[in-house]
Amino acid sequence: MKSLINKKILLGITGGIAAYKIPFLIRDIIKKGGLVKCILTEGSKEFVTPTTLKTLTKQKVYMDEFDIEEGVIPHTTLSKWPDVFVIAPATANTISKLAGGIADNLLTLVGLDTRKPVLIVPSMHENMYNNEITQKNLEILKRRGFNILEPEEGELAGGDRGKGRLPEIERIVFEIEKILEKKDFPNKKIVVTAGATREYIDPVRFISNPSTGRMGFSLAREGVLRGGDVVLISGKTFLTPPYGVNFIEVDSAEDMKTEVFKHFDDLDYLIMAAAVSDFSPSSVVQEKIKKDSFNFTLSLSQTPDILKEAGERKKHQKLVGFALETENLLKNGYKKLKEKNLDMIVINEPTKNSGFEVETNKVTIILRSGDVYRFPLLSKEEVSKIIFDLLEGL
Protein backbone atom coordinates (compact mmCIF):
# COMPACT_ATOMS: atom_id res chain seq x y z
CA MET A 1 0.00 0.00 0.00
CA LYS A 2 1.34 3.46 -0.92
CA SER A 3 1.00 5.02 2.52
CA LEU A 4 3.28 7.99 1.72
CA ILE A 5 1.69 8.98 -1.58
CA ASN A 6 2.57 12.60 -2.47
CA LYS A 7 4.21 13.13 0.92
CA LYS A 8 7.37 15.22 0.71
CA ILE A 9 10.33 13.93 2.70
CA LEU A 10 13.52 15.96 2.97
CA LEU A 11 16.50 13.80 3.97
CA GLY A 12 19.46 15.38 5.71
CA ILE A 13 22.45 13.04 5.46
CA THR A 14 25.43 13.62 7.76
CA GLY A 15 28.94 12.16 7.81
CA GLY A 16 28.39 8.87 9.58
CA ILE A 17 29.28 5.51 8.07
CA ALA A 18 25.60 4.49 8.17
CA ALA A 19 25.02 7.00 5.37
CA TYR A 20 25.67 4.16 2.93
CA LYS A 21 22.25 2.72 3.90
CA ILE A 22 20.31 5.85 2.94
CA PRO A 23 19.75 4.83 -0.71
CA PHE A 24 17.70 1.89 0.65
CA LEU A 25 15.64 4.32 2.73
CA ILE A 26 15.03 6.47 -0.34
CA ARG A 27 13.96 3.42 -2.34
CA ASP A 28 11.40 2.37 0.29
CA ILE A 29 9.96 5.87 0.66
CA ILE A 30 9.52 6.18 -3.10
CA LYS A 31 7.92 2.70 -3.26
CA LYS A 32 5.31 3.98 -0.81
CA GLY A 33 4.58 6.98 -3.03
CA GLY A 34 6.76 9.57 -1.31
CA LEU A 35 8.76 12.39 -2.89
CA VAL A 36 12.36 12.78 -1.70
CA LYS A 37 14.95 15.53 -1.76
CA CYS A 38 18.38 15.25 -0.13
CA ILE A 39 20.79 17.55 1.67
CA LEU A 40 24.37 16.31 2.02
CA THR A 41 26.99 17.57 4.47
CA GLU A 42 30.60 17.62 3.36
CA GLY A 43 31.43 14.55 5.44
CA SER A 44 28.52 12.48 4.14
CA LYS A 45 29.97 12.60 0.61
CA GLU A 46 32.67 10.21 1.85
CA PHE A 47 30.00 7.50 2.26
CA VAL A 48 27.33 8.20 -0.37
CA THR A 49 27.66 10.11 -3.63
CA PRO A 50 25.45 12.94 -4.91
CA THR A 51 25.15 11.05 -8.21
CA THR A 52 23.61 8.03 -6.47
CA LEU A 53 21.07 10.18 -4.64
CA LYS A 54 20.18 12.22 -7.70
CA THR A 55 19.65 9.02 -9.71
CA LEU A 56 17.33 7.56 -7.06
CA THR A 57 15.31 10.68 -6.24
CA LYS A 58 15.22 12.25 -9.73
CA GLN A 59 15.80 15.50 -7.84
CA LYS A 60 18.65 17.95 -7.39
CA VAL A 61 20.90 17.11 -4.42
CA TYR A 62 21.62 20.10 -2.18
CA MET A 63 25.04 20.62 -0.57
CA ASP A 64 25.93 24.31 -0.56
CA GLU A 65 24.09 27.00 1.37
CA PHE A 66 25.41 29.55 -1.11
CA ASP A 67 24.08 27.72 -4.18
CA ILE A 68 21.63 30.50 -5.05
CA GLU A 69 19.70 30.10 -8.29
CA GLU A 70 17.46 32.87 -9.64
CA GLY A 71 17.50 34.64 -6.29
CA VAL A 72 16.19 31.59 -4.37
CA ILE A 73 17.91 31.04 -1.01
CA PRO A 74 18.28 27.25 -0.51
CA HIS A 75 17.73 26.96 3.23
CA THR A 76 14.55 29.06 3.35
CA THR A 77 13.09 27.30 0.32
CA LEU A 78 13.97 23.80 1.53
CA SER A 79 12.73 24.46 5.07
CA LYS A 80 9.22 25.12 3.71
CA TRP A 81 9.13 22.26 1.19
CA PRO A 82 8.76 19.00 3.14
CA ASP A 83 6.03 17.40 5.16
CA VAL A 84 8.81 16.03 7.39
CA PHE A 85 12.56 16.65 7.62
CA VAL A 86 14.49 13.46 8.44
CA ILE A 87 18.13 13.68 9.53
CA ALA A 88 19.62 10.21 9.10
CA PRO A 89 22.17 9.25 10.08
CA ALA A 90 22.48 12.08 12.60
CA THR A 91 26.02 12.31 13.98
CA ALA A 92 26.90 13.60 17.45
CA ASN A 93 28.41 16.63 15.74
CA THR A 94 25.20 17.60 13.90
CA ILE A 95 23.07 16.90 16.99
CA SER A 96 25.28 19.22 19.07
CA LYS A 97 25.05 21.96 16.45
CA LEU A 98 21.25 21.81 16.31
CA ALA A 99 20.99 21.80 20.11
CA GLY A 100 23.36 24.76 20.38
CA GLY A 101 21.79 26.78 17.58
CA ILE A 102 24.84 26.57 15.33
CA ALA A 103 23.98 26.90 11.64
CA ASP A 104 27.22 26.52 9.69
CA ASN A 105 26.05 24.35 6.78
CA LEU A 106 22.92 23.93 4.69
CA LEU A 107 21.58 21.02 6.76
CA THR A 108 21.79 22.84 10.10
CA LEU A 109 20.41 26.03 8.53
CA VAL A 110 17.33 24.11 7.39
CA GLY A 111 17.09 22.31 10.75
CA LEU A 112 16.88 25.61 12.61
CA ASP A 113 14.71 27.40 10.06
CA THR A 114 12.03 24.79 9.37
CA ARG A 115 8.69 24.75 11.17
CA LYS A 116 7.85 21.29 9.84
CA PRO A 117 8.21 18.07 11.90
CA VAL A 118 11.82 16.95 12.28
CA LEU A 119 12.92 13.35 12.86
CA ILE A 120 16.45 12.84 14.22
CA VAL A 121 17.90 9.35 13.71
CA PRO A 122 21.18 9.18 15.67
CA SER A 123 23.87 6.73 14.58
CA MET A 124 27.34 6.60 16.14
CA HIS A 125 29.57 4.51 18.39
CA GLU A 126 27.93 3.49 21.66
CA ASN A 127 30.37 5.50 23.78
CA MET A 128 29.57 8.65 21.81
CA TYR A 129 25.83 8.03 22.02
CA ASN A 130 25.91 7.42 25.78
CA ASN A 131 28.17 10.40 26.40
CA GLU A 132 26.55 12.84 28.82
CA ILE A 133 26.90 15.71 26.34
CA THR A 134 25.16 13.80 23.52
CA GLN A 135 22.31 12.74 25.80
CA LYS A 136 21.89 16.31 27.07
CA ASN A 137 21.76 17.60 23.49
CA LEU A 138 19.12 15.02 22.56
CA GLU A 139 17.03 16.07 25.57
CA ILE A 140 17.25 19.70 24.46
CA LEU A 141 16.00 18.74 20.99
CA LYS A 142 13.17 16.65 22.45
CA ARG A 143 12.01 19.61 24.55
CA ARG A 144 11.97 21.72 21.40
CA GLY A 145 9.62 19.27 19.72
CA PHE A 146 12.06 17.26 17.62
CA ASN A 147 11.22 13.58 17.20
CA ILE A 148 14.08 11.25 18.20
CA LEU A 149 14.30 7.65 16.97
CA GLU A 150 16.79 5.85 19.20
CA PRO A 151 19.56 3.76 17.62
CA GLU A 152 19.48 -0.01 17.83
CA GLU A 153 21.77 -2.52 19.52
CA GLY A 154 24.09 -4.44 17.24
CA GLU A 155 27.42 -4.54 15.48
CA LEU A 156 29.09 -1.15 15.12
CA ALA A 157 31.87 0.16 12.91
CA GLY A 158 35.22 -1.23 14.04
CA GLY A 159 33.73 -4.53 15.20
CA ASP A 160 32.33 -3.45 18.57
CA ARG A 161 28.79 -4.27 19.62
CA GLY A 162 26.43 -1.93 21.40
CA LYS A 163 23.72 0.67 21.06
CA GLY A 164 24.42 2.98 18.15
CA ARG A 165 23.37 1.22 14.93
CA LEU A 166 21.10 2.99 12.50
CA PRO A 167 17.63 1.46 12.96
CA GLU A 168 16.38 -0.88 10.26
CA ILE A 169 15.07 0.93 7.19
CA GLU A 170 11.56 -0.45 7.79
CA ARG A 171 11.66 1.05 11.30
CA ILE A 172 12.62 4.50 10.00
CA VAL A 173 9.86 4.42 7.38
CA PHE A 174 7.35 3.42 10.07
CA GLU A 175 8.40 6.41 12.18
CA ILE A 176 7.96 8.73 9.20
CA GLU A 177 4.47 7.31 8.62
CA LYS A 178 3.67 7.73 12.31
CA ILE A 179 4.69 11.39 12.30
CA LEU A 180 2.58 12.10 9.20
CA GLU A 181 -0.52 10.10 10.20
CA LYS A 182 -3.41 11.92 11.87
CA LYS A 183 -3.50 11.28 15.63
CA ASP A 184 -7.22 10.73 16.18
CA PHE A 185 -6.72 8.03 18.85
CA PRO A 186 -4.20 9.78 21.14
CA ASN A 187 -3.32 7.60 24.14
CA LYS A 188 -6.43 5.46 23.64
CA LYS A 189 -6.04 1.93 25.01
CA ILE A 190 -6.67 -0.46 22.13
CA VAL A 191 -6.60 -4.26 22.35
CA VAL A 192 -6.44 -6.17 19.07
CA THR A 193 -6.60 -9.95 18.78
CA ALA A 194 -5.15 -11.78 15.80
CA GLY A 195 -4.36 -15.16 14.31
CA ALA A 196 -5.63 -18.64 15.03
CA THR A 197 -5.90 -20.31 18.41
CA ARG A 198 -4.78 -23.90 18.95
CA GLU A 199 -6.83 -26.42 20.87
CA TYR A 200 -4.57 -29.36 21.68
CA ILE A 201 -5.69 -32.96 21.27
CA ASP A 202 -2.38 -34.38 22.46
CA PRO A 203 1.11 -32.84 22.85
CA VAL A 204 1.65 -32.60 19.06
CA ARG A 205 -1.81 -32.39 17.48
CA PHE A 206 -4.32 -29.58 17.70
CA ILE A 207 -7.50 -28.11 16.20
CA SER A 208 -6.90 -24.81 14.42
CA ASN A 209 -7.57 -22.92 11.18
CA PRO A 210 -5.54 -21.24 8.40
CA SER A 211 -5.59 -17.69 9.82
CA THR A 212 -2.18 -16.00 9.51
CA GLY A 213 -3.02 -13.00 11.69
CA ARG A 214 -2.37 -10.45 8.91
CA MET A 215 -5.64 -8.59 9.45
CA GLY A 216 -5.10 -8.22 13.19
CA PHE A 217 -1.46 -7.24 12.80
CA SER A 218 -2.43 -4.61 10.25
CA LEU A 219 -5.07 -3.22 12.62
CA ALA A 220 -2.55 -3.08 15.47
CA ARG A 221 -0.08 -1.21 13.26
CA GLU A 222 -2.76 1.30 12.23
CA GLY A 223 -3.67 1.84 15.87
CA VAL A 224 -0.08 2.74 16.75
CA LEU A 225 0.25 5.06 13.74
CA ARG A 226 -2.85 6.94 14.88
CA GLY A 227 -1.59 7.52 18.40
CA GLY A 228 -3.08 4.57 20.26
CA ASP A 229 -1.56 2.52 23.08
CA VAL A 230 -1.95 -0.90 21.47
CA VAL A 231 -1.87 -4.39 22.95
CA LEU A 232 -1.75 -7.14 20.32
CA ILE A 233 -2.85 -10.58 21.55
CA SER A 234 -2.12 -13.20 18.92
CA GLY A 235 -2.16 -16.89 18.31
CA LYS A 236 0.99 -18.52 16.93
CA THR A 237 2.11 -16.85 13.71
CA PHE A 238 5.16 -16.34 11.49
CA LEU A 239 4.52 -12.58 11.34
CA THR A 240 6.75 -10.02 13.03
CA PRO A 241 4.80 -7.84 15.47
CA PRO A 242 4.35 -4.22 14.34
CA TYR A 243 6.58 -1.59 15.91
CA GLY A 244 5.24 0.05 19.03
CA VAL A 245 2.79 -2.63 20.20
CA ASN A 246 2.74 -4.60 23.44
CA PHE A 247 2.79 -8.11 21.94
CA ILE A 248 1.35 -11.11 23.76
CA GLU A 249 1.36 -14.58 22.19
CA VAL A 250 -1.16 -17.21 23.28
CA ASP A 251 -2.14 -20.75 22.37
CA SER A 252 -5.76 -21.53 23.15
CA ALA A 253 -9.08 -19.69 23.22
CA GLU A 254 -8.98 -19.88 27.01
CA ASP A 255 -5.52 -18.27 27.03
CA MET A 256 -6.76 -15.50 24.74
CA LYS A 257 -9.78 -14.89 26.95
CA THR A 258 -7.53 -14.57 30.01
CA GLU A 259 -5.30 -11.99 28.33
CA VAL A 260 -8.21 -9.98 26.89
CA PHE A 261 -9.91 -9.62 30.26
CA LYS A 262 -6.67 -8.70 32.00
CA HIS A 263 -6.84 -5.47 29.99
CA PHE A 264 -10.60 -5.12 29.53
CA ASP A 265 -11.56 -2.71 32.31
CA ASP A 266 -9.03 -0.10 31.18
CA LEU A 267 -9.34 -0.39 27.40
CA ASP A 268 -11.22 1.95 25.09
CA TYR A 269 -11.47 -0.34 22.04
CA LEU A 270 -11.47 -4.12 21.65
CA ILE A 271 -11.01 -5.32 18.07
CA MET A 272 -11.48 -9.10 17.90
CA ALA A 273 -9.86 -10.00 14.58
CA ALA A 274 -8.61 -13.38 15.81
CA ALA A 275 -9.98 -16.60 14.32
CA VAL A 276 -10.81 -18.24 17.63
CA SER A 277 -11.58 -21.96 17.55
CA ASP A 278 -15.23 -22.73 18.32
CA PHE A 279 -14.44 -26.13 19.82
CA SER A 280 -11.73 -27.73 21.91
CA PRO A 281 -11.18 -31.33 23.02
CA SER A 282 -13.06 -32.09 26.21
CA SER A 283 -9.83 -33.52 27.58
CA VAL A 284 -6.22 -33.47 26.37
CA VAL A 285 -4.39 -36.78 25.98
CA GLN A 286 -1.09 -36.42 27.83
CA GLU A 287 0.91 -38.73 25.55
CA LYS A 288 1.07 -38.70 21.76
CA ILE A 289 -1.79 -40.77 20.36
CA LYS A 290 -0.39 -43.74 18.48
CA LYS A 291 -1.35 -44.35 14.88
CA ASP A 292 -2.78 -47.77 15.76
CA SER A 293 -5.18 -46.34 18.37
CA PHE A 294 -8.22 -47.38 16.37
CA ASN A 295 -10.64 -46.98 19.26
CA PHE A 296 -9.78 -43.34 19.91
CA THR A 297 -12.83 -41.04 20.06
CA LEU A 298 -12.53 -37.26 20.09
CA SER A 299 -15.08 -35.51 22.30
CA LEU A 300 -15.44 -31.75 21.80
CA SER A 301 -16.64 -28.89 23.98
CA GLN A 302 -17.43 -25.30 23.06
CA THR A 303 -14.72 -22.73 23.69
CA PRO A 304 -15.55 -19.49 25.52
CA ASP A 305 -17.22 -16.80 23.41
CA ILE A 306 -14.84 -13.97 24.27
CA LEU A 307 -16.69 -11.29 22.33
CA LYS A 308 -20.08 -12.19 23.78
CA GLU A 309 -18.73 -12.00 27.32
CA ALA A 310 -17.07 -8.68 26.48
CA GLY A 311 -20.43 -7.39 25.25
CA GLU A 312 -22.06 -8.41 28.51
CA ARG A 313 -19.36 -6.74 30.61
CA LYS A 314 -18.73 -3.58 28.61
CA LYS A 315 -19.31 -0.11 30.02
CA HIS A 316 -17.52 2.59 28.04
CA GLN A 317 -15.65 0.21 25.70
CA LYS A 318 -16.25 0.06 21.95
CA LEU A 319 -16.32 -3.49 20.57
CA VAL A 320 -15.52 -4.62 17.03
CA GLY A 321 -16.19 -8.18 15.90
CA PHE A 322 -15.28 -10.10 12.76
CA ALA A 323 -17.34 -12.80 11.07
CA LEU A 324 -17.02 -14.94 7.97
CA GLU A 325 -20.37 -15.45 6.27
CA THR A 326 -21.18 -17.41 3.12
CA GLU A 327 -24.86 -16.41 2.85
CA ASN A 328 -27.30 -13.80 4.16
CA LEU A 329 -24.39 -11.52 5.02
CA LEU A 330 -26.40 -8.58 6.31
CA LYS A 331 -29.00 -10.61 8.19
CA ASN A 332 -26.47 -12.86 9.91
CA GLY A 333 -24.03 -10.03 10.53
CA TYR A 334 -26.61 -7.75 12.12
CA LYS A 335 -27.87 -10.64 14.26
CA LYS A 336 -24.36 -11.24 15.64
CA LEU A 337 -23.85 -7.53 16.24
CA LYS A 338 -27.05 -7.35 18.33
CA GLU A 339 -26.55 -10.65 20.16
CA LYS A 340 -23.02 -9.75 21.22
CA ASN A 341 -23.70 -6.07 21.94
CA LEU A 342 -21.11 -4.87 19.42
CA ASP A 343 -20.52 -1.40 18.04
CA MET A 344 -19.25 -2.67 14.70
CA ILE A 345 -19.03 -5.98 12.88
CA VAL A 346 -16.74 -6.63 9.92
CA ILE A 347 -18.02 -9.41 7.66
CA ASN A 348 -15.45 -11.21 5.54
CA GLU A 349 -16.70 -12.60 2.26
CA PRO A 350 -14.96 -15.89 1.34
CA THR A 351 -14.34 -14.97 -2.28
CA LYS A 352 -11.18 -15.40 -4.32
CA ASN A 353 -8.23 -13.50 -2.78
CA SER A 354 -10.23 -12.64 0.33
CA GLY A 355 -9.85 -13.97 3.86
CA PHE A 356 -7.27 -16.45 5.14
CA GLU A 357 -3.69 -16.70 3.86
CA VAL A 358 -3.94 -13.71 1.49
CA GLU A 359 -3.09 -10.01 1.82
CA THR A 360 -6.51 -8.73 0.73
CA ASN A 361 -10.06 -8.76 2.06
CA LYS A 362 -13.51 -8.05 0.70
CA VAL A 363 -15.60 -6.82 3.61
CA THR A 364 -18.98 -5.44 4.53
CA ILE A 365 -19.11 -3.36 7.72
CA ILE A 366 -22.25 -2.91 9.81
CA LEU A 367 -22.41 -0.31 12.58
CA ARG A 368 -24.58 -0.36 15.68
CA SER A 369 -26.63 2.43 14.12
CA GLY A 370 -27.59 0.08 11.28
CA ASP A 371 -25.41 1.85 8.72
CA VAL A 372 -23.91 -0.56 6.19
CA TYR A 373 -20.70 -0.07 4.21
CA ARG A 374 -19.73 -2.41 1.37
CA PHE A 375 -16.22 -2.39 -0.05
CA PRO A 376 -14.50 -4.00 -3.03
CA LEU A 377 -11.41 -6.17 -2.66
CA LEU A 378 -8.84 -4.10 -0.74
CA SER A 379 -5.51 -4.65 0.94
CA LYS A 380 -5.75 -5.44 4.64
CA GLU A 381 -3.91 -2.17 5.32
CA GLU A 382 -6.66 -0.28 3.49
CA VAL A 383 -9.35 -2.18 5.40
CA SER A 384 -7.60 -1.28 8.66
CA LYS A 385 -7.65 2.42 7.80
CA ILE A 386 -11.36 2.23 6.98
CA ILE A 387 -12.14 0.49 10.28
CA PHE A 388 -10.32 3.15 12.29
CA ASP A 389 -11.95 5.94 10.29
CA LEU A 390 -15.36 4.50 11.15
CA LEU A 391 -14.40 3.87 14.79
CA GLU A 392 -13.35 7.50 15.15
CA GLY A 393 -16.90 8.54 14.35
CA LEU A 394 -18.60 6.26 16.89
Write out the catalytic residue numbers: 209
Q: Cα separation of 135 and 108, whole Å?
A: 19
Residues in the chain: 394
Residue 114 and residue 80 in contact, taking contact as beta carbons nearer than 8 Å: yes
User: CA of 176: how far to CAs of 21, 65, 116, 253, in Å?
Assistant: 16, 26, 13, 36
3-state DSSP call for residue 115? coil
Question: CA dihedral defined by 29, 32, 33, 34, rounded to 10 degrees?
Answer: -30
Instruction: Tell me what percent of the chain is helix, strand and coil, each rounded to the nearest 5.
Output: 35, 25, 40
Label residue 46 left, alpha or beta by phi (over 0 means left) and psi (-120 to 50 means alpha): alpha
Instruction: Output the DSSP codes for 203-238.
Output: SS-EE-----SHHHHHHHHHHHHTT-EEEEEE-S-S
